[in-house]
Amino acid sequence: MKALAIVTGLAVMMALAAPAMAADVTWTGDTSTDFNDGNNWSDDTLPVKYVSGASANGDIAVFDGSTTPSNKTPTLTADFGSVDPGDSSKMYDGLLGMEFADDGWTLDTGATDNTGPALYLSYRASAAIDSQATSGVNTINGYLRFEVHNTNAGPTIDVASGGTLRINGIADTLEDYNGTNTNNAIYVDGGGTLELNLGGGNTTRLGSRGWEVLGGSTVEVFAETAGGWTGDGTAGLGSQNNRQLTVTDGVWDMNGANSNFKINNISLAADGVFTNTDGANAVFVTTKLGSGTETIAGTIEGNLGIQWQANATATVELSTAHTYTGDTKIRANGKIKPDVLTPEKNMYVIVKADALVSTDGPLGNSASTVDLGANSLGGAWLLTDGDVEIARDILVNTKVNDSSAACFIGAADTQTASSEFSGEIAVGQNVNSVLGITAPAAATVNVTGDIVEDGGGTEGTVYKVGDGVVVLSGSNTYAGGTSVEAGTLLVNSGAGSGAVDVKEGATLGGTGTITGAVTVAGGTMAPGASTGALTVNNAVELTNDGAGTSSTFEVEIAGLTDYDQLVSDNTVTLTDVDLSVTLDEYTPDVGDTFTIIDGTVSGTFNGLAEGDTFDVDSTTFKITYAASAELEVIPEPATAAVLCLGGALLAMRRRRR
């Protein structure tokens, strides 16, 4: 009996100590529309607020038209809930959640600004707001606040499929006091539609955290507010440091928010859509990615433009075709560190092989120019990863600043295929406008579009970087010069009007015409693309890099009229350069000649003075420099000796007769 009494006593004590479970308190509206009057709730008692550190867990307010068919307009006459940042045990209190059992409800806080009244939701349940109506609309007007502790996941707004929940709020609606945890997104689920008509000024934020759309739901921004936001303010998704938008399964519709709208990170799964369905009011969206890689597997559609922007160094991968109709900008604020080719910050936009690329592609279906740099300090990259053609025109757009770094096009490090940039590329927009073209060792990047001066009053410069091959095939008219830093640059058309410098370990080739002077310092000149002639209408110098590395002049011979040749109407100076000759499954005949440099030659190849000979496989060449650099096939020394001996024996025989 004592044991039973002790157990019973403990049970009572535990029951008294345990927090009360959440209860449903139903709106009756018996006496008025006053939300704050307990007589308008079941049992004539206001819902219990959740209070941090208190024994009560709070109540869920239920709005059910089957119990109150004629009074569906509850209105606050004072704040319900509060925030006390000075008391860590009671930082938030308010309703645990709200549930709408049917449609036609209008809950009004009565607020016209952030002085209130405000309705606070201090949620602990799975859904902070649950709108269960499968048709029609439920509406919340005024000032609604979420209160959450850092350690808790964010609130869920459930809207049943077929139904709509409309929140018409002031600028601070959906802000929260204490939600910096990475899990503190606002989750929209249930398959219905959530309309957000918040604020209207250019500093409006959609809450102070990120959002995630699930379950085939749709979020419409400014569904009922004509024109949306205006101006270039801080309007955006969440606060400055927490604007993650994730659309896992559903649609986020900007719906004509006429603004520069800001999102820190955007993540679209395969079933996710980001759009603006308002054809009259365009939206421009800036996504400020922090770091790491984000793959956009869903689609970006509608009347909007987008700017991919890095706060540090970030990558976005575009793996599907998008049909948005506005501009595309790429921005990184990259300052040089320590030189123009090593930006301090980088924004990489990578077009994957499975993205359909033409007029409609990962960069949208607009005919507008891709803004590479977006008036920043460089560090913007537009790269391919696979057999991809990017047909859009590109503007290299950096600030008028001597510390500006390059912007880049080309292939990602993982690419092993050949890709193409077929649109016009404009450089020279501002001072030090520099375009880098990159290709990794296993890739080829074909630039078939024209590289031109933008007309901004300065001369654009092109740098070839990466260990792979870049081919220039367009009508290139840029004037700032070309620097081959690494890998191979094949000039099959032209390289603008400026000078061309080839650095140690890099290669210059092709079958086009170069207007500016060419200097190869420790690199390789290999005329032709396989075999062919490279023309330089200016002086050419092949020398060392100043640190002991000689240059190389490479010649491939595949036939009597099929071989590599450098053609110059000026002087070709050979200061410190090795000659490399390859026979491509071809054996020339004695007496065949090959003019490998067609022009005036000053100097000689290393170890090959006028008239010297050298062997390639079983062929012996003699080199001369008198008019041009020419190779003549002569008999091998052993063959020549045999011929001489035969001639001598024949002469002796004749004398004996």
Please state which of the ranges 72-76, 418-422, 459-463, 611-615 shows the lowest mean pLDDT. Answer: 459-463
Q: What is the pLDDT of residues 22-58, one digit of tens each?
A: 689 999 999 999 999 999 999 999 998 876 655 556 8
Burial class (CB in 10 A: 0-12, 13-18, 19+), 292: exposed
Distances (CA, A) of 107 to 41, 124, 130, 287: 14, 21, 14, 34
Q: What is the pLDDT of residues 113-164, one digit of tens each?
A: 878 898 988 755 556 899 999 999 999 998 888 765 555 667 889 999 999 9
Specify the pLDDT at position 344.
Answer: 86
Q: Tell me the two tokens of residue 252.
A: 């986020």
Specify the pLDDT at position 126.
Answer: 53
Looking at per-residue pLDDT, the higher value among 12 and 485 belongs to: 485
Q: Residue 88's Cα: distance from chain center in Å?
A: 41
Percent of the chain with pLDDT over 70: 79
DSSP 184-195: -PEEEESBSEEE
Q: Is the pLDDT of residue 8 over 50?
A: no
Distance (Å, rounded) from C-alpha 44 to C-alpha 301? 50
Question: Across the chain, what does the average pLDDT equal?
Answer: 83
Please state which of the ranges 74-78, 582-586, 643-647 shows the lowest mean pLDDT. Answer: 643-647
Strands, E assignment, 590-649: 593-603, 613-616, 619-624, 629-634
Q: Within a 10 A sphere around the Cβ of 89, how many other Cβ atoms?
A: 9
Q: Do 422 and 391 contact (CB within 8 A), yes or no?
A: yes
Q: Residue 560's Cα: distance from chain center in Å?
A: 50
Q: Tell me the two tokens of residue 517.
A: 């002077």
CA atoms within 13 A on the CB side of 589: 3
Q: Tell me the two tokens of residue 166.
A: 């409309």
Q: Is the pLDDT of residue 540 over 80?
A: yes
Specify the pLDDT at position 289.
Answer: 80
CA atoms within 13 A on the CB side of 143: 18
What would you report as the CA-atom Rg of the chain, rounded to the nearest whole angstrom? 37
Specify the pLDDT at position 286.
Answer: 82
Q: Which of 478, 362, 350 is nearest to 424 (CA)?
A: 478
Burial class (CB in 10 A: 0-12, 13-18, 19+), 646: exposed
Distance (Å, rounded) from C-alpha 413 to C-alpha 384? 9
Three-state DSSP at 169 gives strand
Q: Tell me the two tokens of residue 655.
A: 């004398």
Q: Is 150 left (phi over 0), alpha (psi -120 to 50) or beta?
A: alpha
Q: Which of 569, 571, 566 is nearest to 554 (CA)?
A: 566
pLDDT band at residue 12 using 50, 70 and 90 as cut-offs: very low
Work out whether the CA dihedral 27, 32, 35, 37 comes out positive or negative. negative
- Return the bridge partners of 104, or none: none
Q: Which of 89, 91, 76 is nearest to 33 (CA)?
A: 76
Please name the amino acid found at residue 374. Answer: A
Q: Do 450 and 425 contact (CB within 8 A), yes or no?
A: yes
Q: Is the pLDDT of residue 234 over 50?
A: no
